[in-house]
């Protein structure tokens, strides 16, 4: 679901039909002192361009037999970007730079850092149960590096809901919202 809040309809790319001229208006409003925040998380919507590219390149977590692994969010299915794969991290940073920073966002919420499914298989061969508690750091590190590589360390704010050991040096802010989350059936 890597996407701009309300600007790309969950596809990872700006939706010009729903938000015409946003690519120019965001810069016009920025000149007036209005800054834009967006949203990103480590999931890509199945059958959309970013998912298809990530799947083709081997950047997504898999089933134990190597077949595709999908997370059911109730209304849609997503692949999990595998932050244990250095090439997937580079790809994800490029998406952040192109689709968010270059587009004109001044920051974003980096969501779902805490939600690595524990039954998927990762590039580094470690159990997802072991990697689960490291996942918030991995996601924040990729975002932090994308901002630094773009030369925007002092200009862009991102905040996370999840954290853990090590995030103190890379997270610009943490958000304590959604402290109670229910993912099952009621």
Domain that holds residue 64: 22-174
Question: Exactly one of 53, 114, 145, 149 is catalytic; which is it?
Answer: 114
Residue 183 lies in a domain: no
The answer to whether position 16 is within a domain reads no
Distance between alpha carbon 178 and the CA centroid of its chain, in Å?
A: 18
pLDDT over 70 for what percent of the chain?
A: 88
List, for the chain, all residue ranges whose pLDDT scores fall below the cut of 50.
Answer: 1-11, 186
Domain CATH code at residue 99:
3.20.20.80
Catalytic residue among 111, 119, 126, 129: 111
pLDDT of residue 4: 34
pLDDT digits (tens, 9 = 90+) for 1-21: 333 333 444 446 777 888 899
CA 56 to chain CA mean position, Å: 18
pLDDT tens digit sequence for 17-35: 888 998 899 999 889 988 8
> What local confidence, expressed as pLDDT, does residue 12 receive?
60
Question: Do the domain assignments include residue 13?
Answer: no
If one counts every other C-beta atom within 10 angstroms of the C-beta of residue 62, the result is 18
Task: Kindly state whether residue 49 falls inside one of the protein's structural domains.
Answer: yes
Domains: count for the chain: 1
d(CA 45, CA 98): 18
Q: What is the pTM of this model?
A: 0.86
Residue 96 falls inside a structural domain? yes
Residue 102 lies in a domain: yes
Question: Which run of H or E residues covers position 138?
Answer: helix 135-149
Residues 44-59 pLDDT 10s? 999 889 999 999 999 9
SS3 130: helix
Q: What is the pLDDT of residue 2?
A: 37
Residues contacting residue 166 through CB under 8 Å, at least 6 positions apart: 137
Active site residue 111: yes
pLDDT over 90 percentage in the chain? 54
Query: Is position 132 within any domain?
Result: yes
**Is 164 domain-assigned?**
yes
Among 21, 65, 72, 178, the one annotated catalytic:
178
Closest by CA position to 40, among listed 119, 86, 94, 120: 94
Backbone φ and ψ for 102, nearest 5 degrees, come out as -65, -30
pLDDT of residue 91: 97
């Amino acid at each position: 679901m890597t996407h701009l809040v309300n600007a790309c309809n969950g596809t990872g790319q700006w939706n010009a039909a729903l938000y015409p001229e946003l690519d120019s208006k965001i810069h016009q409003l920025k000149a007036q002192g209005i800054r834009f925040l967006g949203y990103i998380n480590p999931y890509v919507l199945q059958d959309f361009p970013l998912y298809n590219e990530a799947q083709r390149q081997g950047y997504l977590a898999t089933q134990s037999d190597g077949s595709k692994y999908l997370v059911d969010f109730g209304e849609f299915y997503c692949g999990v970007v595998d932050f244990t794969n250095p090439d997937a991290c580079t790809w994800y940073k490029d998406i952040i730079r192109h689709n968010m920073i270059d587009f004109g966002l001044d920051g974003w919420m980096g969501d779902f850092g805490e939600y690595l499914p524990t039954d998927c298989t990762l590039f580094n061969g470690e159990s997802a149960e072991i990697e689960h508690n490291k996942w918030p750091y991995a996601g924040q590190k990729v975002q932090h590096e994308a901002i630094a590589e773009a030369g925007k360390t002092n200009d862009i704010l991102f905040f996370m809901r999840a954290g853990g050991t090590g995030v103190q040096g890379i997270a610009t802010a943490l958000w304590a919202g959604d402290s109670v989350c229910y993912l099952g059936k009621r």
